[in-house]
Structure 1
């Protein structure tokens, strides 16, 4: 045993207690130095080739046989666990997060998103811009290939949802790294609004009954002053300029680089030709009430089609941007102590005096780790923050008490 006069801490990780550095702590120190060498000598600044930053870091652990250490195996297992057992959240969303250095962790956040939405993320590392958070977005049920992998230096990024369903955002720091960050997720339209009239309004929506229930509305109706410009919602090519039928005077355009076609109907005038290249904001025609809309106020019927047929266009052009509410700051560097018996988000019974590891703060409560390693949301009024690291395990309930009981 090597005796030191004082304990010391690096990046939040304590290597000695009460002046003693044990053989176990010595091996951990050497592992820590090796891991830091990966980060310092070969910084990962973005996606290189076909590998994501997360995969590159895992490869570096493998190259140095660190993936065979308990800590390395724990880091790899945590990355998969975050995708298997994510925390369910609702968008828009905001959280204040903290990763502790006592063991490897990752956090998965699962949310629903609709085709046509642009999900915008803001990730800020508080007081530590060097903190690397490997950030990947997955379609739920697919843990191998992320649909989006973020450069580790990025703070703002977005993703256009092509398929309605559940998605998982995974956050994971390097081994032995500790740090605080904030995350916000907002919902925006992926296309521009197709009418310039500032008073234009959406009144008839996707799925509304038509012809006494014989058919359903395959688009949205945007009511606007007659003659208002109907504009290209994005860059593309005009694929059709037609007249007649239910849509009256209409224009079709294909969106560049996507399997999406936009349909503009009931126009008073068409101002483009088939095959014409258009930019976002170019005028395609003027709002009117031709076709089967001749007895209704002037409006644009706007539709979105893919090779599989029509889909709801409102998420593509919804002007009502949805942002997350503000969140009061609380320090997460300590631990949480359960002050009264309560339920966690997964139904686990929280026993008084149990110590939990706080991972994030959100409007519904704390995202915390139970003693058995499960991550859940616990109510704000069920716990209190304890300053400083908790070293004793005497007050921690076993998984028999926490994480296994259901009411």
Structure 2
């Protein structure tokens, strides 16, 4: 799985050539260089621009790298958060991994990528928001810097989001990507969390005359009610419905937080507070006089009105499932171990089946998630297969003798390049079967593809 000496040498040559070309380009004067430095670009955009400046985007590998990044945005894997996957990026074949998921406004996406290998690559981590008007052009909303392989982003719209992870050229290595959600606000009741919410947004009130514009958080009377954000107290008053209330301005997010039914208020208008400062004590004033003590917590967006506060304070305590597959298969060829195996859209038994794979279909294992492998077929199609239905190529299926000369190809296609010529009467060991082709190993240990016609 490690890059070869050839790719290390070729990488160094390309980088040196790229530097020479970059410095020789007319457009790379100090003046233009300073302009590029101060132009706001993501690390991915800077790297891609560097490839173009050095003419490396005109090489086959450079073009494959650009295409891999663009294709990742068009064909992301749909996943449910929290999600964790471990995969392998090969040095000789540019690849990118991409994942699409749904997150509600008020939540924060937390992404972390860990890498390992002899030559750990720089990895570009970019987050996009789906474009309702043009699915082919998602909007970039966040990216990780080059010093930390992680990012946190507060969701602004209830739209699908897409994460792309791609390494630099000619560097191989194993990676693990973890995607989780977190609340954007601290919990407003001291010592409690979202499990204390017992009445939710939209519930009917006053025999259906109005809807509940918040959540109710239950706790013992006189439990401290605290600031969920750093902000300024704007109002401290008493109303018939809310009883003793406190309003806290959250200018960062352009919204106000509403605390109602307090037993007592312990702040004054104009007072600046930090996260966790006590605003008042839990009670049941106002129209909650007949109910148990609780806090009515609401959020009102500037220019929009009330929104559901639950995603803003919900803490998902689910942890991503640990990897339960054989990591030795990552980056290697394998084969289907049973007949009629489903290739699924995402790592879940309930996910859509893309197609059914025959026995001994060859697969390139790209990554693993829980008990699933993300695989790529010889034609480039990707999907997920249950790991228990995948076996290594260690044990050949059979030995066959070629009845005529044949080319040992690098892909299962008549247009593929030939690795070597095999004379008639050559015996090869069959490792896997693709329609019309065999994946074989010759007596010298070279693996490649031969047409089935060569043995007839």
TM over 0.5: yes
> Which stretch has the larger CA shift, 218-227 or 306-315?
306-315
Structure 1 match to 2:341: 342
Structure 2 match to 1:25: none
1:92 and 2:56 equivalent?
Answer: no
Q: Which runs of 5+ in 1 are unaligned?
A: 1-8, 16-27, 401-407
1:316 and 2:312 equivalent?
Answer: yes
Residues 1:35 and 1:209: Cα distance change in structure 2 (over 3 Å): farther
How far off its partner does 1:227 sit? 1.5
- Mapped to 1, the partners of 2:283 and 2:243 lie a distance apart of 9
> Of residues 6, 11, 14 in structure 1, which corresponds to 2:3?
11
Structure 2 match to 1:179: 173
Residues 1:322 and 1:190: Cα distance change in structure 2 (over 3 Å): farther
Structure 2 match to 1:59: 49
- Mapped to 2, the partners of 1:71 and 1:112 lie a distance apart of 33
Structure 2 match to 1:380: 387
1:372 touches 1:398 (CA, 8 Å); kept in 2? no
Structure 2 match to 1:358: 365
How big is each residue's C-alpha offset from its partner over 1:228-254, in whole Å with a ceiling of 9 and x where there is no partner?
111101101112223113212111112
How far off its partner does 1:155 sit? 3.5
- Mapped to 2, the partners of 1:366 and 1:343 lie a distance apart of 12
How far off its partner does 1:357 sit? 2.1
Residues 1:391 and 1:297: Cα distance change in structure 2 (over 3 Å): farther
Residues 1:12 and 1:109: Cα distance change in structure 2 (over 3 Å): farther
> Of residues 129, 132, 136 in structure 1, which corresponds to 2:122?
132
- Mapped to 2, the partners of 1:137 and 1:86 lie a distance apart of 12
Structure 2 match to 1:249: 244
Structure 1 match to 2:145: 151
Structure 2 match to 1:330: 327
1:202 touches 1:220 (CA, 8 Å); kept in 2? yes
Q: Secondary structure at the match of 2:434?
A: coil
- Mapped to 2, the partners of 1:311 and 1:336 lie a distance apart of 50
Larger Rg: 2
1:235 touches 1:279 (CA, 8 Å); kept in 2? yes
What's the TM-score once normalised by structure 2's chain length?
A: 0.74
Answer 1 or 2: higher relative contact order, Cα 8 Å, separation at least 6: 1
1:397 and 2:394 equivalent?
Answer: no
- Mapped to 1, the partners of 2:281 and 2:436 lie a distance apart of 66
TM alignment of 1:68-79, pairs within 5 A: 68-79=58-69
How big is each residue's C-alpha offset from its partner over 1:252-292, in whole Å with a ceiling of 9 and x where there is no partner?
11214212221111111122222221110111111111111
- Mapped to 2, the partners of 1:396 and 1:191 lie a distance apart of 54
> Which stretch has the larger CA shift, 79-88 or 197-206?
197-206
- Mapped to 1, the partners of 2:241 and 2:12 lie a distance apart of 69
1:32 touches 1:176 (CA, 8 Å); kept in 2? no
How far off its partner does 1:12 sit? 4.1
How big is each residue's C-alpha offset from its partner over 1:347-403, in whole Å with a ceiling of 9 and x where there is no partner?
12323333222221012511122222232122223322347xx98545563799xxx
1:34 and 2:14 equivalent?
Answer: yes
How far off its partner does 1:32 sit? 6.5
- Mapped to 1, the partners of 2:16 and 2:336 lie a distance apart of 35
Query: Matched residue pairs, number?
Result: 374
Q: Which runs of 5+ in 2 are unaligned?
A: 23-36, 346-353, 395-407, 413-431, 438-456
> Of residues 270, 273, 291 in structure 2, which corresponds to 1:275?
270
Q: Secondary structure at the match of 2:66?
A: helix
How far off its partner does 1:156 sit? 3.9
1:241 touches 1:270 (CA, 8 Å); kept in 2? yes
2:18 touches 2:56 (CA, 8 Å); kept in 1? no
1:240 touches 1:252 (CA, 8 Å); kept in 2? yes
- Mapped to 1, the partners of 2:161 and 2:436 lie a distance apart of 29
Q: Secondary structure at the match of 2:140?
A: coil
- Mapped to 1, the partners of 2:293 and 2:16 lie a distance apart of 65
1:132 touches 1:153 (CA, 8 Å); kept in 2? no
> Of residues 233, 236, 254 in structure 2, which corresponds to 1:238?
233
How far off its partner does 1:319 sit? 4.0
1:205 and 2:200 equivalent?
Answer: yes
What's the TM-score once normalised by structure 1's chain length?
A: 0.83
- Mapped to 1, the partners of 2:267 and 2:196 lie a distance apart of 24
> Of residues 72, 91, 101 in structure 1, which corresponds to 2:91?
101
How far off its partner does 1:50 sit? 0.8
- Mapped to 1, the partners of 2:217 and 2:50 lie a distance apart of 54
